[in-house]
Structures are given as C-alpha cells and as structure tokens.
Amino acid sequence: MPRIYLDHASSMPVDSRVFEFAKPYLRESWGNPSSLHSVGLEAKRAVEESRGKIAEFIHAENESTIIFTGGATEANNLAVKGAALRNITKGKAVIASTIEHMSVLNPMKELQKNGFSLTMLPVDSTGIVDLKKLDSILTKDTVLSSVMYANNEIGTIEPIKDISKIVHEKGGFLHVDAVAAGGRVPIDVQNEGIDLLTLSSNDLYGPPGAGVLYVKPGVKIQSVLLGGGQERGLRSGTENVFALVGMGEAARIAQQEMKQESSRLLPIRDKFIKEILQIDQSYLTGHPTLRLPHHASFRFSFIEGESILLNMDMYGIQVSTGSACSSKTLEPSHVLLAIGLKHEEAHGSMVLTLGRSTSMEDVPVVSKATNETVQRLRRLSPMSQEWRN
C-alpha cells in the first residue's frame, strides 16, 4: 500500500540534500566548536556559516542575532522566560494569544506562578487575534507579548506587523513563534518589527534536535540554561554541529524554493478543501484565505479525531488531529476551543499538512478515504445515531 504522508506540521523527513550536506559533521568533522585546534575551528566555521544562512532566511540584521538551541520548545522557553526575567524592572505583566503552542503558554503560566500577571489575548472564530483587545490590555507594565506567526493546527496567519506596532507603542517586546510559518511564507523580522522569533530545524526539512531564537539587537534576555557559556552565554552546552549545519542548509533551500513550492501546493490544498467539504456535516477550521499554503484543517460532527487518525492510517494515509486523544491530556484542543467551538465539536478534527511529496494525484485518494472513514465512524457513533433520529 503506497503511503501518503500529510502530517508535515508534526514532523518532516530530512531533505536528502540537507543530509548529504551535513553528513560529514557526523563522522569526519566531529570537532567541538569551542576547541581552539584545527578540528574544533572547522566545526566552528560550519556553525557560523549556518548562522549566517538563517539570518539571511529571516532578513535579520546580522548573524549575531541568531541563537542556536536544542529545538523550538527550548527557544520558546528562552524567549518567554529569558525576556521577562531579564526585563523585570520594566514590568511584571505578559500577554499570550489563546492559540499559542504549549511551549509558550506553559512558560507564561510558570511566570504567573512567580508573580507575573498573565493576560490571554482572544482570537475570533477564524483564529485572528483581536487587535483592539490587544491595545486595551497592554499597559506600561507589559514587558512581553507572544503571538505566533501562524497556527500549526488551524493554519491561520496573524497580522504580525500590525501587532508589532501596537505592542511597541506601549513599549513592550514582541515574541513570535514562527515554527509553523518558517519555509511556507516569507519572514522579515526587521520589516515586521519582531523582537524575538522562534524557528525549528525539523519544520524546515532539517535534522531534529535544533532550533533558533532570533534576538533583535538591543533586546536583553537572560539564560535559562547555564553552563559553559556557548551561544553568547544564552544557551550553554556543546553544539550539535550536524543538526545546526543541516538547519542552515535547510533554511537556504527553503528560501530558494519557497515561492515556487507554495505556488505548487496552493491549488492542491484548495482542491483538498473543496473535496472534503462535500462530506455532510464537515467544516473548515481557521481562516478561509489568510492561511498557510500547505495547510487544510477540518472538523466533522459526531465523531472523534483519534478514530479518524487511526482509520486513515489503515488506508496508508497519515494525518493529524486536534482532539484530546492525540495529546497528553484528556481535554480537547485549546486552539479549537479558543475559536469558539464546543467541546464535542472540538473533538472531531482532522489536519492535513502538505509537503514536498504531496501531489494533486493524492487528492481523490485522500478524499475518498476521508469520506469512507467519516461514514464508517458515524455509523458507529451514538452521537450520530441520536442526531439522525
């Protein structure tokens, strides 16, 4: 059975070009970048070249703004806790949108337990943040606001430049989790007024185990991981040279191919949406147009997301779900609840995230499998039977 992988928001295969480029740093150039001998200096040169590629990828001021981490979760923690604690004399209030990733929300909640005031910024039914509400809840004590560039679960793209203007008018810093958006839409941290920005290697077809935090010149943060002082003293620990070199090359390829790849995926995404919405009691989640070019997300009445995922996998099709069953808790997706869905509605979600292996030929196969899956599960669902009666 041929496999159709449509869960690229969860994990991406390492691009073969990236692997070949970075492979020497697994066995041949194995030096520690902190070592002063020639083997160490060779590794350091490779890491710095990668730093430069990523700076260019997001149009940063220079390569010194790029801090390598062990992944996006670590970068988000460093951004949130590092900025808030380093600038505590400016205020002890923070803001996060209600649809942020848990690696932003949980550090925010930890700050709240330690004396900070946390205000949640609501979104509308499509996932767009409420700009008027943002303006009203910002105060002179708000040191940091965090709004993701685009949501990984519903695909909605936020008006980052407008958000930045509002935040800066009140004197605060803006952190942007751009993991879902990186490599899908152009990012310009200078033009968009971003102070802190998070990226993930694996979400760029790079090796897992690497992430980036961009820190705008002049923005002060403190380390949350102490040790030998690597990465400007902000992220100690011996660098994963293979992963960091691979991430830089993945960013370079993404920058070069992004426009063409997005144009290729857009009609495929739209075809998926058109076909799947023909299923009775199916709905698109997220914004209908202001969404990532590779992202299609749905909810189906009367069935559970985990059952959808497992049934689709039997067809050789890998998808994601925002239901509780795919997470570590028993609660439905906080993102779907934030856009106004009821608990029972939030459980029946399916998320398709397309990638370089996706083609238009996949659409009828996936659409047929989705329809059969939904109909089969509804026949078994007590909720569906009650509705029909």
Q: Is 171 left (phi over 0), alpha (psi -120 to 50) or beta?
A: left
DSSP at 158: P
Catalytic residues: 325
Take residue 271 and report the two structure tokens written for it: 């075809």
Backbone angles phi, psi at 183, to 5 degrees: 85, -5
d(CA 323, CA 331): 8
How much is the pLDDT for 29? 83
In angstroms, the CA 315 to CA 165 distance is 47
pLDDT, tens digit (0-9, with 9 covering 90-100), for 180-219: 999 999 999 999 999 999 999 999 999 999 999 999 999 9
- In terms of Cα–Cα distance, which of 93, 61, 101 is closest to 77? 101
| Full set of structural domains in the chain with CATH | 4-10+258-388 (3.90.1150.10), 16-253 (3.40.640.10)
Residue 59 near residue 68 (C-beta atoms within 8 A): no
- pTM for this structure? 0.95
Say if CB 164 and CB 146 are below 8 A apart: no
* pLDDT value, residue 323: 47
72: amino acid identity, one letter: A
pLDDT at 35: 86
How many angstroms separate the CA atoms of 75 and 223, rounded? 11
Six-digit token string for 297: 């997300």
How far is Cα 381 from Cα 304, in angstroms, rounded to an integer? Answer: 9
Residue 75's CB: how many other CB atoms inside 10 A? 29
Burial class (CB in 10 A: 0-12, 13-18, 19+), 256: exposed
| 236: helix, strand or coil | coil
pLDDT at 326: 45
Instruction: Give pLDDT < 50 ranges for the chain.
Output: 323-326
